[in-house]
Chains A and B, each alone.
Chain A
């Protein structure tokens, strides 16, 4: 069952001469973990702004085509209505956090919905638990590490129990271990709760293995759309200059030298496994 369905989506920002989205057609299934990538300025952020209705309700401009997100036509629902279904986590958590304690930050969105106190407490507890930050409840967000702050930002979005969460380069400011842990939290939300994840990301070495669907955009269009192994091993993806994972790069170099692996490895573990099989037999 599809949760996002775009048909011929074309959008031009107010005053802009160029279309930022051109005839974008795309389907994302419920419960998928999709990576959205492509060169800077390719339209990724613009497309995400459509997913939660910021386009057309906040950004004016000209929108053509249709987009249904969680059974709602974005043109017919307000940003507030869309926000209950689609959560957004930004690159820099500092831009998203503002309350005096982690707990208050996570509760903020629920307070705005006018949720009864007891139910709200339950939701907050659940969101803190799912993101592994129960022990940070009383702490001030601004004194936490970048990785902890990003978890708070995720918990705040999760507390709203959205169907879809869009993550816009959520680990850019984090050290590699912190980044890996955030990807694990995101993957957990996807696998355990069935939340549909859309991850906007340039650095695919760490993230590729979690995804079941990769979408590459270029100049406002969908350039490639499909299964990660298929996409990353395709000639076109290499020509577009996106960050192909090193495991896939190695696979390709070996292939060119006459060493064929069993499949296209998307993570280091897979690459090691395939290499063991090929080299051990010799």
Chain B
């Protein structure tokens, strides 16, 4: 069964801004999807429709076959967890531990389970030392991890991350990448909204490209991120490796390369081949 099915949805904000204009999309169980596109293309509006934070003005979103219009946000959140771009929009408790326990209690887990899940989530995101610390004493990167831990604690089937790499340094980003890939390999459906082309090139998920409230492309990262026409339409700059290979096609090299290790392999083979 498809986890999230979006059927021709429209969404207009009370201000009159038409953020989504006929979007259809199916995200299957266990997929890893990156939603990309220019500022204001409707990316965040779309994913907020996945868990009922917003409900379409027209059309339907089905989560596990049930329309988001027929279920409460609280119930949907159990299946679809949402990690906000700015952790401060999400955090409010006095300690990290309380922050993580809050939703679990709301979902009605008993005290023993709450305790077990909190310990598990703290450990998962390397936050055990901060158990009794106030989230607001932590750095931006650490607060982002607390926000992620508090969502993962209730083990939603789908995790949505809005701009997870903003404000993260290189090493934190690499840790995040490994973590996301691992979550996905363990069977979780992962949806990220991001501008970070290099991060997407390293994760290589399915890419959904948006422009002005519509989806203009949907496919493998390798294909989408190396299409210069699409890139321009969606205000994306192809990853550096793709740009390099774009200038080498006259040698008969492929143009759809985004990964640095793959790039090396192709160039070494080419050099050897043309030598012999």
- List the interface of chain A (C-beta within 8 A of B): 38-41, 91, 145-147, 169, 172-180, 202-203, 205-206, 241-243, 245-247, 249-250, 253-254, 257, 259, 267-269, 271-273, 275-276, 278-280, 282
Contact = CB atoms under 8 A, between A and B. Distances in A.
Contacts of A279: 248, 251, 267, 270-271, 274
B166 A178 contact: no
A242 B139 contact: no
A268 B198 CA distance: 13
Q: Which of A40, A243, A269, A276 has the most chain B CB atoms inside 10 A of its CB?
A: A40
A175 B37 CA distance: 7
A145 B139 contact: no
Interface string B56-99: 00000000000000000000000000000000000000000000
Chain B at the A interface: mostly helix, strand, loop or mixed? helix
Contact of A249 (B169, B174, B260): B260
B240 A268 contact: yes
Contacts of A268: 240-241, 243-244, 247
A185 to B, nearest CB: 15
Contact of B38 (A178, A202, A205, A280): A178
B38 A175 contact: yes
Interface string B135-169: 00001110000000000000000000000001111
5 contacts: A241-B170, A246-B198, A246-B240, A246-B260, A250-B263
Q: How large is the interface on B (under 10, 10 to 19, 20 to 34, 35 or more residues)?
A: 35 or more
A243 B141 CA distance: 16
B248 to A, nearest CB: 6
Contact of B195 (A174, A254, A278): A174
Interface in B163-220: 166-174, 195-198
Interface of B: 37-40, 139-141, 166-174, 195-198, 232, 234-237, 239-241, 243-244, 246-248, 251, 260-261, 263-264, 267-268, 270-271, 274-275
A40 B168 contact: yes
A169 B40 CA distance: 20
Contacts, number: 128
Nearest to A249: B260
Q: Which of B196, B246, B271 has the most chain A CB atoms inside 10 A of its CB?
A: B271
B181 to A, nearest CB: 18
Chain A at the B interface: mostly helix, strand, loop or mixed? helix
A165 B196 CA distance: 25
Given A202-B168, A279-B248, A146 B39 contact: yes
A179 B194 CA distance: 13
Given A40-B141, A175-B235, A176-B237, A241 B261 contact: no
Given A178-B39, A254-B264, 7 more contacts: A91-B167, A172-B166, A180-B237, A241-B171, A257-B264, A268-B244, A282-B274
B264 A250 contact: yes
A41 B195 CA distance: 23
Contacts of A175: 37-39, 195, 234-236
A243 to B, nearest CB: 4
Contacts of B247: 268-269, 272-273, 276
B162 to A, nearest CB: 12
